[in-house]
């Protein structure tokens, strides 16, 4: 039993060391927000596809706090919770959409949303 445990321990140590690496993601490219033309319809289509289609932010169900069931409600949420939205949706360590096999939003999409918010969410 002891030899099995020792062997298993050594194998785990080897796997631990071999699988170690240190890499940083490249610097996000500065998308030119000044020249970017983004309208609400485009952003809301992204929100519908990634945030409301999975019954996550439709309002009425949990979590009810972020209700994106209409463009007006999305804008209202962002106006009231600007920093939370930036942290969880557009920031460098954004964690939305969460788990449940939903793919992370591409950086370019996050930048577009951030730019749209920065410009005052134009229609």
Residues at the contact surface with another protein, assessed by CB under 8 A: 5, 12, 15-16, 19-29, 62-66, 80-81, 83-84, 86-87, 91-95, 98-99, 101, 103-104, 106-108
Of the pair 49, 64, the CB lying nearest another protein is at 64
**25 or 123: whose CB is closer to another protein?**
25
Judge contact between 89 and 105, C-beta under 8 A: yes
Name 32's Cβ contacts closer than 8 Å, sequence gap at least 6. Answer: none
Other CB atoms closer than 10 Å to residue 108's CB: what's the count? 11
Q: Which residue is associated with the tokens 């099995």?
A: 4
Residue 18 Cβ vs another protein, minimum distance, rounded to whole Å: 8
Q: Which residue, 20 or 123, has its beta carbon nearer to another protein? A: 20
Measured CA to CA, the distance from residue 58 to residue 55 in angstroms comes to 6
Q: Answer yes or no: are the C-beta atoms of 118 and 82 closer than 8 Å.
A: no
In whole angstroms, the minimum distance from the beta carbon of 7 to another protein comes to: 13
In the complex with another protein, which residue's Cβ is closer, 109 or 123?
109
């Amino acid at each position: 039993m002891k030899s099995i445990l020792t062997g298993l321990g050594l194998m785990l140590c080897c796997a631990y060391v071999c699988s170690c690496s240190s890499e940083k993601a490249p610097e996000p490219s500065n998308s030119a927000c000044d020249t970017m033309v983004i309208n609400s319809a485009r952003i809301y289509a992204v929100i519908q596809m990634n945030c409301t289609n999975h019954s996550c932010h439709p309002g009425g169900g949990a979590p009810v706090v972020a209700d994106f069931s209409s463009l007006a409600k999305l804008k209202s949420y962002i106006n009231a919770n600007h920093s939370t939205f930036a942290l969880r949706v557009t920031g460098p360590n954004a964690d939305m959409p969460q788990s449940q096999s939903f793919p992370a939003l591409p950086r370019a999409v996050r930048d577009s949303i951030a730019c749209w918010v920065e410009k005052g969410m134009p229609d």
